[in-house]
């Protein structure tokens, strides 16, 4: 096989909104809905799962799929660049389907965790749909489509409890896995039947060893950050996990400098991509930690006299629904704006809006209408940041590397969410008051809550710095696949120009 990159022939890309493009958007959004259902729905039946498997390790049952997603991501991201985005997306959905069926039939907790590991592949659906959208549409249309497919699935967070609870009541708690398997199978069939394959692919081999080291290291570090508070930060198992994760990441970094085609080429990461990843890790940590805070504050009665509180839990549904609606609005609008002005301005606007809404929560922690408004605005910011981050990072890369780059964005978003959410939780734990709520759980002092909000606000402010740099020095607009390259310029000089081979 000739691995020399060839300039692709012109390909027909979707250049305007049509019934066919609306159908594509619906199918790709369905694939992303699977990720939410596969990872989130089993948590609706967590007590029944703990009873079935006679275990008290709720943290592992809860976080296993997300951690498996971190392990799957590097391998699937690179595979999508080499073998095609649609083909890899179908494989990803079938893995998730198989995982759901394993979870359904699992006779013990260990086989259940194997199923959750397979379900974790659904995490990759998000960034593969982004990379696929970028290659089957012209840049302007693709950016709007990315905004839709990355944020549209958030509406599941609003309606899922209302849809799943009757199913669970009638068919039992294991029905969540049947639903997840059916959704995965339907999504795989629709993607295979209705979505075209990406016309541009990279060349070469896949560094499986590097993928396992990177994914395993990330998964271990995220597991330590996610589970340490429940299992003990200094327990032998957690310390071993952290050391193993750090060692795997160090080994991957050394390997990436020695092999010709590493799973992620650190030397090829451009300045715009690095700045985008820095802005995303800070912003994601901020808005995810704020979602955690709102669920805590909503359970504190206002008459407890702590200086904050929004009720006895009745406000939780509204406070968590508002951000999900905001994410859909923010992601859709950011995609539309990115197609006209580039993705850097909506990224900066989303971060600025998130900072303003977060600092407004200093007053909103004791005023329910203001808290709902702030939660909705933080959701708008989250949707805009996610969609713009994917658009900006993939725009700065050649198409044959867009799958890998989109995978990096997903991992960075997860990393920021886990690390800074943990940091916020530690702030609340360190400022416990003598009062209790929600079945005897200790409540934090007002000082702890205000410190938490201030921390999240500072993260947003820090994220403004790389976002401003990106807005002031925007990368070159991506050239549509098939456009001739200007003489004397390489793919690295002109981000977005295709250099991979065209496939039918």
- Which residues make Cβ contacts (< 8 Å) with residue 160, sequence separation at least 6? 36, 37, 40, 41
Q: What average pLDDT does the structure give for the chain?
A: 85
CA distance 137 to 245: 38
Asked if 35 and 152 touch (Cβ cutoff 8 Å), the reply is no
**What pLDDT does residue 292 have?**
81
And the tokens for 421?
Answer: 């959410």
Average of per-residue pLDDT across 280-293: 90
CA distance 384 to 378: 10
Both 173 and 36 in one domain: the answer is yes
The predicted-structure confidence for 24-81, as pLDDT tens digits, reads as follows 999 999 999 888 888 777 878 888 888 888 887 777 787 788 888 888 999 999 999 9
- What does the DSSP 8-state code read for residue 483? P
Both 458 and 428 in one domain: the answer is yes
**What pLDDT does residue 280 have?**
96
Both 169 and 237 in one domain: the answer is no
In a domain, 436, yes or no: yes
Residue of 226, 370, 352 lying closest to 297 (CA atoms): 370
The predicted-structure confidence for 36-46, as pLDDT tens digits, reads as follows 888 777 878 88
**What pLDDT does residue 99 have?**
94
The pTM for the full model equals: 0.87
CA distance 334 to 343: 8
And the tokens for 330?
Answer: 């923010």
Asked if 14 and 138 touch (Cβ cutoff 8 Å), the reply is yes
Average of per-residue pLDDT across 109-131: 93
Looking up residue 375, the CATH number of its domain turns out to be: 1.20.1250.20
Both 382 and 294 in one domain: the answer is yes
In a domain, 358, yes or no: yes
Both 413 and 343 in one domain: the answer is yes
**What pLDDT does residue 484 have?**
43
Domain boundary pick from 262, 279, 305: 262
Strand, coil or helix: what is 448?
Answer: helix
Cα radius of gyration (the chain): 22
Both 395 and 459 in one domain: the answer is yes
Which structural domain range is residue 246 located in?
207-262
- Cα 260 to its chain centre, rounded Å, is 29
pLDDT band per the 50, 70, 90 thresholds, residue 301: confident
CA distance 387 to 54: 41
- What does the DSSP 8-state code read for residue 485? P
In a domain, 16, yes or no: yes
In a domain, 4, yes or no: no
Both 168 and 273 in one domain: the answer is no
Both 425 and 327 in one domain: the answer is yes
Residue of 467, 409, 349, 398 lying closest to 150 (CA atoms): 409
Answer positive or negative: Cα dihedral of 38, 40, 45, 51. positive
How many domains would you assign to the chain?
3
Alpha helix stretches (DSSP H) within 108-259: 109-119, 123-136, 139-151, 156-171, 175-194, 208-231, 236-258
In a domain, 504, yes or no: no
Residue of 404, 395, 401 lying closest to 344 (CA atoms): 395
**What pLDDT does residue 498 have?**
39
In a domain, 298, yes or no: yes
CA distance 425 to 421: 6
Both 72 and 45 in one domain: the answer is yes
Domain boundary pick from 224, 247, 262: 262
Q: How far is CA 5 from CA 421, 479, 492, in A?
A: 43, 17, 14
CA distance 374 to 354: 9
**What pLDDT does residue 1 have?**
41
In a domain, 3, yes or no: no
Asked if 499 and 26 touch (Cβ cutoff 8 Å), the reply is no
Both 258 and 315 in one domain: the answer is no
Number of Cβ within 10 Å of residue 283's Cβ equals 32
Of residues 16 and 345, more confidently modeled? 345
CA distance 399 to 417: 27
Asked if 312 and 368 touch (Cβ cutoff 8 Å), the reply is no
In a domain, 485, yes or no: no
And the tokens for 290?
Answer: 């704020």
Strand, coil or helix: what is 300?
Answer: coil
**What pLDDT does residue 440 have?**
56
Share of the chain above pLDDT 90, in %: 50
Both 307 and 448 in one domain: the answer is yes
And the tokens for 303?
Answer: 């008459």
And the tokens for 273?
Answer: 């991509």
Both 232 and 138 in one domain: the answer is no
And the tokens for 228?
Answer: 């340490």
Domain boundary pick from 201, 231, 247: 201
């Amino acid at each position: 096989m000739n691995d020399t990159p060839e300039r692709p022939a012109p390909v027909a890309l979707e250049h305007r909104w049509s019934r066919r493009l609306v159908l594509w958007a619906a199918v790709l959004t369905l694939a992303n809905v699977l990720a939410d259902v596969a990872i989130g729905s089993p948590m609706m039946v967590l007590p029944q799962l703990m009873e079935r498997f006679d275990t008290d390790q709720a943290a592992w049952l809860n976080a296993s799929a997300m951690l498996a997603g971190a392990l799957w991501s590097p391998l699937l991201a690179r595979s999508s660049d080499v073998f095609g985005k649609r083909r890899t997306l179908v494989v990803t959905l079938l893995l998730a389907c198989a995982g759901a069926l394993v979870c359904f039939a699992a006779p013990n907790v260990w086989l259940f965790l194997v199923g959750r590991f397979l379900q974790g592949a659904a995490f990759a659906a998000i960034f593969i749909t982004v990379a696929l959208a970028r290659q089957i549409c012209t840049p302007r249309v693709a950016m709007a489509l990315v905004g839709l497919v990355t944020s549209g699935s958030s509406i599941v967070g609003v309606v899922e409890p209302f849809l799943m609870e009757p199913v669970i009541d009638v068919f039992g708690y294991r029905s969540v896995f049947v639903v997840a398997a059916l959704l995965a199978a339907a999504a795989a069939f629709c993607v295979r039947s209705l979505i075209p394959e990406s016309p541009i692919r990279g060349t070469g081999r896949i560094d499986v060893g590097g993928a396992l080291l990177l994914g395993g290291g990330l998964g271990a570090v995220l597991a330590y950050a996610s589970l340490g508070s429940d299992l003990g930060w200094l327990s032998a198992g957690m310390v071993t996990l952290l050391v193993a994760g750090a060692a795997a990441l160090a080994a991957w970094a050394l390997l990436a400098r020695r092999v010709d085609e590493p799973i992620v080429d650190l030397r090829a990461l451009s300045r715009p991509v690095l700045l985008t990843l820095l802005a995303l890790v800070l912003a994601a940590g901020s808005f995810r930690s704020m979602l955690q805070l709102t669920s805590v504050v909503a359970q504190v009665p206002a008459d407890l006299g702590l200086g904050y509180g929004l009720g006895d839990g009745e406000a939780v549904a509204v406070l968590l629904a508002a951000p999900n609606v905001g994410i859909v609005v923010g992601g859709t609008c950011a995609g539309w704006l990115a197609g006209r002005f580039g993705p850097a301005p909506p990224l900066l606007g989303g971060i600025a809006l998130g900072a303003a809404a977060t600092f407004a929560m200093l007053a909103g922690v004791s005023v329910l209408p203001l808290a709902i408004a702030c939660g909705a605005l933080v959701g708008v910011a989250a949707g805009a940041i996610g969609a713009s981050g994917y658009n900006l990072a993939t725009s700065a890369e050649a198409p044959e590397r867009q799958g890998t780059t989109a995978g990096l964005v997903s991992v960075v978003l997860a990393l920021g969410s886990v690390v800074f959410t943990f940091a916020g939780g530690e702030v609340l734990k360190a400022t416990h008051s003598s009062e209790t709520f929600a079945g005897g759980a200790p409540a934090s002092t007002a000082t702890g809550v205000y410190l938490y909000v201030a921390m999240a606000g500072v993260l947003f402010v820090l994220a403004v710095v790389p976002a401003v740099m990106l807005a002031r020095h925007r990368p070159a607009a991506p050239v549509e696949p098939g456009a001739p390259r200007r003489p004397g310029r390489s793919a690295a000089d002109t981000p977005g120009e295709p250099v991979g081979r065209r496939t039918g």
